[in-house]
Structure 1
């Protein structure tokens, strides 16, 4: 099986996982309703995930090996993406659209953007050292914070944020990783607000940030 076929197979696996996760999330949200009216959400392109059980404590390290915890981001809006630097296609595309959307939002709304922290968390700590993660995230701009850690630390972070990942096919360039492809927007209290629409492009991401970040 050539690399294209293996990558396509991994992509199909991820799409099936995303569909199952999205359906499960919808059922969970419906089941948690207590009949009271929730605060009205402004129209967005992405997916409203307010009330979902997403988010929780983690301890990781940044490019300098400094310990970073989820509590360190309290008081800021956080954009989180879980991926890996050796990803041949999906991760660079997703992170590029995420950051270009953030940059467009920051240009139009600099004061609001100052309250937002974009974050990349690797799901491949075996290869993604702090130095490698730092170099990779720097390519997308100085505002993107890259985090890694031990396998146990990454597992805990992924579980807290309902992220699926696993080792995929072997290629000549090394193994691939199957993983979900969400960009979560979390509010300053650490609560989930939306899955930002990176699949719809940077303008959609910028528009949702403008609608949601207060």
Structure 2
């Protein structure tokens, strides 16, 4: 075998090694080390200043110490919001005693209509452990930006609606994103993700 052939083989092997190494790095950033959420998830979430359904001030610190599921929507939402809150009610019940170890927070993206009083009435149909939150337009815009939530107002007058993200943001006890629970995710899958947040 010639020296030139040996050099060609070495070059090919080196090139394959570089491609494999790059693929491993990409996979690590996508999946996270040890199957955890990727490092980029630290850019999602953060402190906020809102009021709950009782009109009391709440911040991110109000929910630290327990895993927290955040969901963004509004009371006039025709489908995704009541469906997700119903699903979260079922998931909390299915978790049994572990259900008490979670916070679930429904943040309104419609501060113009969703007053604390209206949110309190709205929550009567769901698990009493669920908290609702609202605030000024500026405060809502701030928390929406920090969680990278898609929100778009559609229409004018009193009949406007919102297009908005429908995923549940599952944070750990320190306020770091663990995973997202997709809209109408299978029950077992959603509960497994909640348990993952509890163990993280």
TM-score for the superposition, normalised by structure 2? 0.77
SS of match in other structure, 1:64: coil
Q: Deviations over 1:89-144 (max 9, x none)?
A: 12111221122122212x2xx1x333210110000000000011111122111010
Unmatched tracts of structure 1, length 5 or more: 1-28, 42-47
Which residue number corresponds to residue 181 of structure 1? Answer: 166
1:39 alignment counterpart: 34
Whole-Å separation in 2 of the counterparts to 1:170 and 1:178: 14
Structure 2 distance, partners of 1:184, 1:151, is 21
C-alpha deviation, 1:31, in angstroms? 10
Query: 1:161 and 2:147 equivalent?
Result: yes
Gaps of 5+ in 2: 1-24
Partner of 2:71: 81
What is the alpha-carbon distance in structure 1 between the residues aligned to residue 46 and residue 156 of structure 2? 32
Q: Is the 8 A contact 2:67 2:197 kept in 1?
A: no
Change in Cα spacing, 1:50 to 1:103, as seen in structure 2 (3 Å) is farther
Aligned equivalent of 1:56: 46
Q: CA deviation at 1:74?
A: 1.2
Q: Please say if 1:95 is aligned against 2:94.
A: no
Rounded to whole Å, the distance in 2 between the matches of 1:195 and 1:50 is 14
Structure with larger RCO (C-alpha < 8 A, sep 6+): 1
Deviates more, 1:176-185 or 1:193-202: 193-202
Q: How many residues are matched?
A: 172
Is the Cα contact below 8 Å between 1:51 and 1:192 reproduced in 2?
no
Contact 1:126-1:151 at 8 Å conserved across structures: yes
- CA RMSD after TM alignment: 2.4
Looking at structure 2, the residues matched to 49 and 132 of structure 1 have their Cα atoms a distance apart, in angstroms, of: 37
